[in-house]
Amino acid sequence: MYGLIGKMIATPGERDALIAILLENVSGMSGCLSYIVAKDPADADAIWITEVWDSAESHKASLSLPAVRDAITRARPLIAGFGEHFVTEPVSGQII
């Protein structure tokens, strides 16, 4: 498995709009086992995205999907920057 955890910073006041775009069309991404978007309680503009994929190749392939490319294009103006970014190797888990 392949995992990613990353911090994204929204432009001031646009966090909820950015989250809405990121959560559109998340179903149907082949190989995506988990895609979680969370608000950072300590930073009103920050979000954390945690992803688990069956492989790094599936994640890379998802970036070429029309819906994902459209979301990236629409989200870009709402992104002020990025924080930490971690690649992980998930070993197990449960989606309830």
pTM of the model: 0.90
The full DSSP string for 55-90 is -HHHHHHHTTSHHHHHHHHHHGGGEEEEEEEEEE--
Q: What's the CA dihedral at 27, 20, 18, 36 to 10 degrees?
A: -50
Q: Is the pLDDT of residue 70 over 70?
A: yes
Neighbouring residues of 75: CB distance < 8 A, sequence distance ≥ 6:
18, 21, 22
Q: CA-to-CA distance for 15 and 10, rounded, in angstroms?
A: 5
Q: Is the pLDDT of residue 96 over 70?
A: no
Instruction: List, in order of start, the domains of the chain with CATH numbers.
Output: 2-88 (3.30.70.100)
Q: What is the pLDDT of residue 25?
A: 80
CB of 29 closer than 8 Å to CB of 65: yes
**Length of the chain in terms of residues written:** 96
Cross-strand pairs, 6: 49, 85
